[in-house]
A and B are shown apart, each in its own frame.
Chain A
Amino acid sequence: MKRIYLDHAATTPVDPTVVEAMLPFFTEYFGNPSSVYTEGRGVKKSIEAARLQIAKAINADPREIYFTGSGSEADNWAIKGIAMKNQAKGKHIITSNIEHHAVLHTCEYLEKQGFEVTYLPVDEYGLISLDDLRNAIRKDTILVTIMFANNEIGTIEPIKEIGEIVKEKGIIFHTDAVQALGNIPVDVKDLNVDLLSISAHKIYGPKGIGALFIRKGVPIDNLIHGGAQERKKRAGTENTAEIVAFGKAAEMATEQLEENAAHMKKLRDLLIKGVMDKIPQVRLNGHPEKRLPGNVNFCFDYIEGESILLSLDIIGVAGSSGSACTSGSLDPSHVLLAIGLPAGVAHGSLRLTIGKHTTEEDINYVVENLIQIIERLRKMSPINADCPIDDAVFDKADHHH
């Protein structure tokens, strides 16, 4: 059966051109870039070429780009590195309550180390309020970290406006742009950001390679200590092949940005319209306009997300859900709860994320099949408009234990 992959926010297939670019670095150009002999020097040049490609993709200076082992590492480094270096000035950090776990859990860790963190709430669309941000800023605030675009509901935060407010107060501003790169323009000069995290595997590059943009002069501690790589800021022998691949992927993402975004947006709107028109009692999560071109996130009343995912998988479609039942923790997605969905509704969430290879036929196939899947699961459900969830049933379970 043909598979239809609609989980591009989770990861993307590596582009064949990118694979081709990286392969020689496993065999022919295997040298250690720190070595002085020819093998090393050649590889070093390739790394610097990749750094330039990344820099161009986000309008930075190549000396402001530092390669990391993932987007998560870039987030960890930005937050812990700024916190440690600047703690004499203050120990207060501001973030939002819809960040990726790489940011949220890092902030929670710092709280245990004596830092104070303000988690800004979001509105029903997932947007933070600039007034809330202004009110949260204190004399001892050293860092504001707000994501560029949300990985679950696709909402795009007003990063430029946030940057202006934060800059005026002389505070350092980090944004997690892992979901933004390749989908919307990312320009560090325009955005007023001091630090920005990106990751290759969301832009048709390989997994396990990311980068942190650190604006020149921003005071930050190292996260990974050791050798003198990355201009003494991030130790570890360079992951040459993947760095080269990341560079190529970033270059392609920039070249194809308009074309890919327009394509994804068209299909996204087709999918949203198809589902909203043909399936009753469904809501679109996230913002109607300020959303990533490839992101669709629905909640279907009275049914559960994992059941939808399994049903889709059987007919060849890969999607994802913020449902409690699909995550090990059993808690529904913190993002869906943050936009105000009751836990029962957050249960029925389905995220489908479109990529550059998705076709109109794929979307039509998904819409047609989704109609039947939702109908079947709703018939199986004990709850509906006439029989809403009765909280007493949860006590009954306890009583039987």
Chain B
Amino acid sequence: MEYTDVVMENFTCPKHVGEIEGANGIGQVGSPACGDIMKIFLKINDDGIIEDASFKTFGCGAAVASSSMATDMIIGKSIEEAGKFKNSDVVDALGGLPAEKIHCSVLAAEAIQAAIEDYHNKKAQQ
């Protein structure tokens, strides 16, 4: 199994690790296939723009790299745009993933959707 240089870079020096203070959208999903878990934190401003994003991941190299790349890609996007974010966007940006590691990128896309959903839920409750 071979990881691309971009995957390795994102694994060795991942961007946006940790929790952001004042995150108003938090999503956590696990992969039933392998048991890995990803948590995404979003800070969304009143104009519906994702000002900041971060992650915490319990998973393989591809999962860490996908989290790093995905958070980096959605910062600055509106929640509508981010809502259309797909795992294939992460895979392309990483220069590809081995076939058995595609589900790791799915985890990243799902965690983002879960975080956006959490933001909407919180807002509805206000």
Name which of A22-30, A177-185, A300-308 contacts chain B.
A300-308
B114, closest chain A residue (CB) = A396
Q: Which of B18, B37, B61 contacts A379 (CB 8 A)?
A: B18
Q: Which of A304, A310, A393 contacts B29 (CB 8 A)?
A: A393
Q: Which of B8, B34, B56 contacts A382 (CB 8 A)?
A: B56
Within 8 A of A (CB), among B96-126: 100, 107, 110, 113-114
A218 on interface, CB distance cutoff 8 Å: no
A398 on interface, CB distance cutoff 8 Å: yes
Q: Which of B33, B56, B100, B110 contacts A380 (CB 8 A)?
A: B56
A-B contact count (CB 8 A): 87
Q: How far is the CB of A100 from chain B (nearest CB, A)?
A: 21
Q: How far is the CB of B101 from chain A (nearest CB, A)?
A: 8
Contact A307 B37 (CB under 8 A): no
B30 contact set on A, CB distance < 8 A: 389, 393-394, 396-397
A279 on interface, CB distance cutoff 8 Å: no
Within 8 A of A (CB), among B32-71: 32-39, 56-61, 63-64
A325 on interface, CB distance cutoff 8 Å: yes
Distance, CA A325 to CA B33, complexed state (A): 10
A231 on interface, CB distance cutoff 8 Å: no
Contact A380 B37 (CB under 8 A): no
Contact A325 B32 (CB under 8 A): no
Q: Which of B12, B18, B59, B113 contacts A304 (CB 8 A)?
A: B59
Within 8 A of B (CB), among A208-235: none
Contact B64 A380 (CB under 8 A): yes
A380 contact set on B, CB distance < 8 A: 14, 17-18, 56-57, 64
Interface string of B13-38 (1 = CB under 8 A from A): 01001100000000011111111111
Contact A382 B57 (CB under 8 A): yes
A383 on interface, CB distance cutoff 8 Å: yes
Knowing A330-B34, A382-B28 touch, does A397 contact B107 (C-beta < 8 A)? yes
Contact A389 B113 (CB under 8 A): no
Distance, CA A390 to CA B34, complexed state (A): 15
Q: Which of B8, B12, B28 contacts A393 (CB 8 A)?
A: B28
Q: How many residues of B contact A (CB 8 A)?
A: 32
Contact B61 A400 (CB under 8 A): no
A324 contact set on B, CB distance < 8 A: 34-35
Knowing A382-B28, A397-B107 touch, does A325 contact B39 (C-beta < 8 A)? no
Distance, CA A358 to CA B56, complexed state (A): 36
Q: How far is the CB of A182 from chain B (nearest CB, A)?
A: 29
B32, closest chain A residue (CB) = A394
A372 on interface, CB distance cutoff 8 Å: no
B58 contact set on A, CB distance < 8 A: 302-304, 347, 381-383
Q: How far is the CB of A50 from chain B (nearest CB, A)?
A: 36
A330 contact set on B, CB distance < 8 A: 33-34, 100
Q: How far is the CB of B33 from chain A (nearest CB, A)?
A: 5
Q: How far is the CB of B14 from chain A (nearest CB, A)?
A: 7
Contact A307 B60 (CB under 8 A): yes
A310 contact set on B, CB distance < 8 A: 3, 8, 11, 61
Interface string of A358-401 (1 = CB under 8 A from B): 00000000000000000000011111000001100110111010
Q: Which of A328, A379, A398 contacts B17 (CB 8 A)?
A: A379
A328 contact set on B, CB distance < 8 A: 100
Contact B113 A400 (CB under 8 A): yes
Contact B57 A347 (CB under 8 A): no
Distance, CA A265 to CA B36, complexed state (A): 34
Knowing A381-B58, A382-B58, A397-B31 touch, does A304 contact B36 (C-beta < 8 A)? yes
A88 on interface, CB distance cutoff 8 Å: no
Contact B114 A400 (CB under 8 A): yes
A49 on interface, CB distance cutoff 8 Å: no
Distance, CA A267 to CA B100, complexed state (A): 36
Q: How far is the CB of B119 from chain A (nearest CB, A)?
A: 15
Which residues of A come within 8 Å of B, CB atoms?
A: 302-304, 306-307, 310, 314, 323-326, 328, 330, 332, 343-344, 347, 379-383, 389-390, 393-394, 396-398, 400
Which residues of B come within 8 Å of A, CB atoms?
A: 3, 8, 11-12, 14, 17-18, 28-39, 56-61, 63-64, 100, 107, 110, 113-114
* Sample (28) of A-B pairs whose CB atoms are under 8 Å apart: A304-B36, A306-B61, A307-B11, A310-B3, A310-B8, A310-B61, A314-B12, A324-B35, A332-B35, A343-B35, A347-B36, A347-B58, A379-B17, A380-B56, A380-B64, A382-B37, A382-B39, A382-B56, A382-B58, A389-B30, A393-B29, A393-B37, A394-B32, A394-B35, A396-B110, A397-B31, A397-B32, A400-B110
List 3 A-B pairs, minimum CB-CB distance, nearest first. Answer: A325-B60, A382-B56, A382-B39
Other contacts beyond A307-B59, A307-B64, A382-B56: 5, CB < 8 A: A304-B58, A314-B12, A380-B56, A381-B56, A382-B57
